[in-house]
Structure 1
Amino acid sequence: MKNIFLTIWLLLAAFAAVAQPGSIRGTVRADGKVVPFASIGLKGTTTGTTADEFGAFGLANIPPGTYRLVVTAVGFQPTERNVAVAAGKPTTVAVALAASSSALGEVVVSGTLGEVLKSESPIAVELYTPRYFQKNPSPCLFENLTMVNGVRPQLNCNVCGTGDIHINGLEGPYTMVLIDGMPIVSSLSTVYGLSGIPSSLVERVEVVKGPASTLYGSEAVGGLINVITKNPAKAPRFSADLFGTSHRDLNLDLATAAKAGPASTLLSTNLYGYNQRRDVNNDGFTDVPTQHRISVFNKWSWQRPEQRVASLAGRYYYEDRFGGQLGWRPEFRGGDSVYGESVYTSRYELLGQYQLPVAGQKLLLSGSFNQHRQNSAYGTTRYNATQRVAFGQLTWAHGPSIRHNLLLGAAFRSTWYDDNTPATGSEQHTQPDLVNLPGVFVQDEFRLTPDATLLAGLRYDYNPRHGNILTPRLNYKWGTVDGSRVLRVGIGNGYRVVNLFTEDHAALTGARQVVVPEALRPERSWNANLNYTRFITTKAGSTLTFDGSVFYTYFTNKISPDYDTDPNQIVYRNLDGYAISRGISLNTDFTFSRPLKLLAGITVMDVFRRERTAEGGALRRVAQLHAPVFSGTYTASYTFTQWGLTLDYTGQVSGPMQLPVQPNDFRPSRSPWFSLQNLQATKRLGPGLELYGGVKNLLDFLPRHALLRPFDPFDKTVNQNNPNGYTFDTSYNFAPLQGRRTFLGVRYSL
């Protein structure tokens, strides 16, 4: 009997030892130095953590077995290795990372509203770090995006310099701009929202091309740009970046980070000034508007148990910009003696995230609020507007099994808008426009095999003007275990509910009645996308990356204003027709064993719409404005290690694009081929200290005839010696009105 009990006891002890979970602990290093705040996870599971400031990490409660440990950090190449976990014993590992400046090889993204490896994401996401944009420094993020293949910041006014962002040829209102995943950059203020974001607070910029409305709702029809700000706990204690150009503009970014117990804070400021009224083309107008702006950003984050998220941020932005005739003075504002376009802009933003303290569950509450005020005078036309956007979202990320990652969410966005035009009432009685947009969504990421993942999502929104709106999407990803080959196939639906009074405000200044004769349908798009990524490492230590996509977007229900049917009315209807954006794009990244790095991207596309000009008539093809058939970006970097010197040669090339012209216009309706090229040298002077300088627009390219009839901006003599009936026009634009210029700057980070 004693032997029987002893045998049972030994069996139970052995079973308990086998069932007892194990753990993994280790340190992440690169070139002998610790890498703080790296991301560590077990591939194919939901187990993960973040290294501390000393590079140390630990994973607990792991069932015995062999796992694939994945370690990633911004600025380093990802690494994977097999780790055997024994029952009841800690497994110690030492992880070594290799440095990488590749924008294509970065790893942590949030394209699915959850941080995942770029190679693991079923959605094709392009990621760019501030280091990439520093190869051609610009005073604002809006200009930096010219370095992104397939993304075109487009100036829509040659006088005031305002514009929007095109993705794959689709116009700016179909591009959603997010900050930390929240839509605080509204349609009224895209260019202003991106102008004052200091580079010192940007962790990375994510670009998704194609509809993303299943997760992000309205406006994400053509794609989205998500600006991820730095975590205050990981930000440098102090950083500064000051540079100016030979055109005498000056830009300053300052940031400081500190810790106070469990809280960390990041304070960042951007100052920009340009006060020169240059007129190189001798048309009597400023080539580039004068600008004075200030932006202050403050973000707080808190350490909480179980690494729960808690952050709160705020930003204030003010700008005074002017463009017009050289002799304009502020007392001429709104008058008809000297033409000027003067814009005063002020906005503030609040955004935050808080993970609810529910044991074993990831419930994340996100919210934002912004107010944008604009006081403008376009010649004699005054436009004063205020827009407020409130956004709230609750998501529940749940992994019911190793093979399923489920995401449920509910969102609400409220947009309030008022201006001084007949669109929102009269001077005696204002009628602000208010749109409340609630929605719910569900997404399941299903791992079919260790190499294949299927993502399915569906969103439901209710709009008081458009009714019920459903937006589905389906994505499939296949990839090799080492991440060297990834294939993605996606089909998605995007939609946009139009705020009629924020997108064409210049036309709403007359005494016209706004008429909506029929129930408007939401603008919709269907997109199919095939993406293939190939990552190659040679025996000599060189790395080659190819990231190619084929895309096709079918767009319907475009809402356009009709000013011609009745001169006393503005009639809004859905377009009788459709639009198409189709093409191919390729991003390449070559990092050689020698200190040479090459990046290049090309996009070939065909963007047009077919519209019916008369009831029962045939559809006619109309090319999309400002959508070049061919465009490309390129960067070549070479480092002289012994001298601490880096040379960066960057540029963009653009093929012909359709331009807005007037009847009988003498200006070409299509732009010429052109290239904007830049050269920069960066000298490392010490730890964290760099001196840089170079030349922008090496070829000194300038577009011609940017303004039509600049000698008569108020059209006072339009009926005199004007057989073609030309009127003053500011919209003919395809390249910046800035010639060759030198720049010099200094950058420091502690």
Structure 2
Amino acid sequence: MKHLLLLIGGLCVAILAQAQSTGKLQGVVRADGKEVPFASVGLKGTTLGTTADEHGHFHLLALPVGTYTVVTSAVGYLTAERNVTISAGQTATLNLTINPNSNALGEVVVSGTLNEVVRGESPVAVELYSPKLFRKNPAVCLFENLAMINGVRPQLNCNVCGTGDIHINGLEGPYTMVLIDGMPLVSSLSTVYGLSGIPSSLIERVEVVKGPASTLYGSEAVGGLINVITKNPAKAPRLSVDVLATSHRDANLDLGIARKIGSASTLLSTSLYHYTQRRDVNEDGFTDVPTQQRVSVFNKWSWTRPEQRVANVAGRYYYEDRFGGQLGWNPTYRGGDSIYGESVYTSRYELLGQYQLPVRGQRIIVSGTFNQHQQNSAYGTTLYRATQRVGFGQLTWARELSIRHSLLAGATYRTTWYDDNTPATASGTEPAQNQPDLIQLPGAFVQDEWRLTPDATLLAGLRYDYNSRHGSILSPRLNYKWGRPDGSRVWRVGLGNGYRVVNLFTEDHAALTGAREVVVPEALKPERSWNVNVNYNRFLPTASGGTITFDASAFYTYFTNKISPDYDTNPNQIVYRNLAGYAVSRGLTLNTEFAFARPLKVMLGVTLLDVFRQERATAEEPSRRVAQVHSPPFSGTWAISYTLQKLGLALDYTGQVSSPMPLPVFPNDSRPSRSPWFALQNVQATHKLREGLELYGGIKNLFNFLPRHVLLRPFDPFDKQVGTDNPQGYTFDTSYNYAPLQGRRVFLGVRYAL
């Protein structure tokens, strides 16, 4: 008993001595006089730190005696530092003030790391675009809006039906992943048409990551990704209306309604587009632009939960009827060989949701999506009917191990079911029967973000996927960021590996014929790519109160096992092989923004590209360099805005310029193999009538630029007279394109938000 009392007494003395040699720190984090919830507070040069509560209050206990630098940060605010002295047995009170970050680097992004992070703090270079940019040259769909982003090129692949995809840094559409709220909803088949049905009334911002992102997002995120972040129903305008019409007689209506119902908030957004005018300015007998009638309905619900935990669910339905072809076509000719037409009926629905588990101190989120895409198309005499269903589930766990160290881990599962009426999904038996394609893709990833110093961050990630057709696939990446705490200067270096599992069953006009057989003579390996990217961001305040921002990147991507379809070796076959060689995409991009103290703002972007593949037809032949079609060596964008405050008037001058680019031509083709230099320029005036109400109008394609002679043999679209007066053996071709076939047009619109 005596020894036990001595032990207890010794422990009490030790605890008392420890208490006398340590102190406490407490306080409140505020910005503009208001508490900042969940701000991060840490002691510089140590692993000691905490997170403020929902009222901005923080407490740090048992701190060794000494003088420290307290670092305070929060999403959307500039990092701040204060010194404090901790005395033995005392509680120091320190009220901290941080300032909102008016710089774009202070905006929150999620695409680079799957975590909400201030853009300036992200180790991965993420470009951020708000609807304000797209309103400088309003368009009826996101596909057209993306033309305003430097290095991103919406490319039309068919001059008749107007289908297209999104190129990033010169790479074709299949290498670009498009997400909605971080979920891969717009997949291979639907990318052709799905981007047309995303109404601008639901877009909060668009995030663009250039370069492989397969470590987090898996297959297809090889060239880069575009993440469309939709509005938070709790913060969306109660009513928003945007009506736009042009002199070409097309009209678009975007309507959004937001309501709060108990602890839930909901946003209902509807987009209607109508265009039935058949224009033929180039007099080739075909519509210059396909007629389109479409409707898109989007509904999102979010719930308010303790500790700002995530809970939302959304759904979207999209229907479109589009036609392109000879002027005299009507639906009775659909699928016939007398008058040529390409008629496409698209029906699609999507469901997505996220839920954060109620685990204290942990950020565990379950998310999932499901979509079904149905296509009913006729391309001349070729009928194409297809259905694709994609299910995706993801579990992520994020944990801050310390103020310097954070971990993200996750598991995913994706299943893709596809069926169509072509030989691609035939069983190969007699009689032929449909055999739908099914791909299972489970995966797991881990990402470790380590703040080496207050100015430097290292990010390492690794992903493992098991494809039911191709087996195991690993995708690593490494990112390093160094920057000043105020975000005025940031360097980023990224090294990443991407992969793409080719889908042989996406829509391809050349494959849509029962006379062609899909041939895969060898076991296809997944395409692999290695990418190095160096990014530099500089933010400079000017003496007159304005700002100048520079964002420059140099990138190099090397591809192996690239898969390309061969339509030429055998006219009755489509042969898929891995490239006997390699492919390269390299270049430089520069984005600049000048915001002057006077009401003038200038945004300029330039991209220099060199995209090619090095291949050999046979082992005996020397390798040859083949330039990537539809990839201009030089392209640029600009947006110049001037505001007349007293008149309530804003003027915008926007445009894109492109250098000559390689085009798909036939041997001895009469059409040039390269496009000319061209620029598409637009002007707009916006008048603010009163709070929330704007009237806008302007001219698109100001100088009336139009491509010439894009169709080959438009007088014989069914190739009935190929052997008559045709020594070169040309056939009808729709793929020669480098700019929209729309001339000058006047537009007028009204925008209202309550």
Distance 2:36 2:206 in 1: 19
3-state DSSP of counterpart to 2:694: strand
Where structure 2 has 5 or more consecutive residues not aligned to the other structure, the ranges are: 1-8
Any idea what the Cα deviations from partners look like across 1:530-570, whole Å, max 9, x if unmatched?
A: 11111101222110111100100001111223345555544
Among candidates 497, 500, 503, match of residue 496 of structure 1: 500
Match in the other structure for 2:3: none
1:682 aligns with 2:686: yes
Give the Å deviation of 1:308: 1.1
Give the Å deviation of 1:398: 1.3
Match in the other structure for 1:356: 357
Distance 2:52 2:139 in 1: 35
Question: What letter matches 1:683 in structure 2?
Answer: H
Change (3 A) 1:242 1:456: same
Any idea what the Cα deviations from partners look like across 1:592-650, whole Å, max 9, x if unmatched?
A: 11111100000011110011111332110001000000000001111111111111110
Match in the other structure for 2:299: 298
Give the Å deviation of 1:24: 1.7
3-state DSSP of counterpart to 1:423: helix
1:641 aligns with 2:645: yes
Q: Residues 312-391 of structure 1 correspond to what in structure 2 (within 5 A)?
A: 312-391=313-392
Q: Is the 8 A contact 1:258 1:264 kept in 2?
A: yes
Distance 1:568 1:631 in 2: 38
Q: Is the 8 A contact 1:465 1:520 kept in 2?
A: no
Give the Å deviation of 1:70: 3.7
3-state DSSP of counterpart to 2:268: strand
Match in the other structure for 1:81: 80
Distance 1:330 1:419 in 2: 22
Question: What letter matches 2:327 in structure 1?
Answer: L
Q: Is the 8 A contact 2:49 2:60 kept in 1?
A: no
Change (3 A) 1:42 1:258: farther
1:541 aligns with 2:545: yes
Give the Å deviation of 1:515: 3.2
Match in the other structure for 1:251: 252
3-state DSSP of counterpart to 1:215: helix
Structural RMSD (CA): 2.5
Match in the other structure for 2:632: 628
Distance 1:742 1:48 in 2: 54
Among candidates 67, 79, 87, match of residue 70 of structure 2: 67
1:664 aligns with 2:665: no
Q: Residues 203-602 of structure 1 correspond to what in structure 2 (within 5 A)?
A: 203-425=204-426, 429-504=433-508, 506-566=510-570, 568-602=572-606
Change (3 A) 1:350 1:212: same
Distance 1:567 1:16 in 2: 88
Q: Is the 8 A contact 2:73 2:98 kept in 1?
A: no
Distance 2:73 2:703 in 1: 46
After the TM superposition, which of the residue ranges 404-413 and 561-570 deviates more from structure 2?
561-570
Give the Å deviation of 1:379: 0.6
3-state DSSP of counterpart to 1:233: coil
Q: Is the 8 A contact 2:75 2:106 kept in 1?
A: no
Match in the other structure for 1:704: 708
Distance 1:106 1:50 in 2: 22
Change (3 A) 1:286 1:566: closer
Q: Is the 8 A contact 2:303 2:312 kept in 1?
A: yes
Distance 2:418 2:744 in 1: 41
Q: Aligned pairs, how many?
A: 728
Change (3 A) 1:13 1:167: same
**Matched-pair identity in %:** 70
1:603 aligns with 2:607: yes
Question: What letter matches 2:642 in structure 1?
Answer: Y
Give the Å deviation of 1:303: 1.2
3-state DSSP of counterpart to 1:79: coil
Give the Å deviation of 1:95: 6.0
Change (3 A) 1:19 1:39: closer
3-state DSSP of counterpart to 1:195: helix
Match in the other structure for 1:613: 617
Distance 2:293 2:20 in 1: 70
3-state DSSP of counterpart to 1:614: coil
Give the Å deviation of 1:468: 1.1
Match in the other structure for 2:187: 186
Distance 1:49 1:593 in 2: 36
Match in the other structure for 1:127: 128
Give the Å deviation of 1:307: 1.3
Give the Å deviation of 1:352: 0.7
TM-score normalized by the length of structure 2: 0.92
Distance 1:368 1:50 in 2: 32
Q: Is the 8 A contact 1:209 1:222 kept in 2?
A: yes
Q: Is the 8 A contact 2:50 2:403 kept in 1?
A: no
Change (3 A) 1:471 1:171: same
Q: Is the 8 A contact 1:110 1:116 kept in 2?
A: no
After the TM superposition, which of the residue ranges 420-429 and 597-606 deviates more from structure 2?
420-429
Q: Is the 8 A contact 1:28 1:38 kept in 2?
A: no
Distance 1:108 1:50 in 2: 22
Change (3 A) 1:490 1:94: closer
Change (3 A) 1:364 1:98: closer
Give the Å deviation of 1:678: 0.6
Distance 1:227 1:641 in 2: 32
After the TM superposition, which of the residue ranges 194-203 and 208-217 deviates more from structure 2?
194-203
Distance 2:75 2:457 in 1: 20
3-state DSSP of counterpart to 2:336: coil
Give the Å deviation of 1:91: 5.6
Distance 1:139 1:41 in 2: 41
Runs of 4+ in 1 over 6 A off after TM superposition: 36-39, 43-46, 84-90
Q: Is the 8 A contact 1:633 1:651 kept in 2?
A: yes
Any idea what the Cα deviations from partners look like across 1:300-326, whole Å, max 9, x if unmatched?
A: 111112211111000000000001111
1:717 aligns with 2:725: no
1:58 aligns with 2:56: yes
Q: Is the 8 A contact 1:459 1:472 kept in 2?
A: yes
Give the Å deviation of 1:84: 6.7
Give the Å deviation of 1:572: 2.3
1:734 aligns with 2:738: yes
Any idea what the Cα deviations from partners look like across 1:236-281, whole Å, max 9, x if unmatched?
A: 1111111111111111111111111211111111111111001111
Change (3 A) 1:689 1:391: same
Question: What letter matches 2:273 in structure 1?
Answer: Y
Distance 2:271 2:717 in 1: 34
Q: Is the 8 A contact 1:17 1:88 kept in 2?
A: no
Match in the other structure for 2:170: 169
Change (3 A) 1:476 1:166: same
Give the Å deviation of 1:41: 4.5
Change (3 A) 1:181 1:563: same
Give the Å deviation of 1:191: 3.5
Question: What letter matches 2:459 in structure 1?
Answer: L
Change (3 A) 1:105 1:278: farther
Distance 2:614 2:535 in 1: 27
Distance 2:92 2:137 in 1: 51
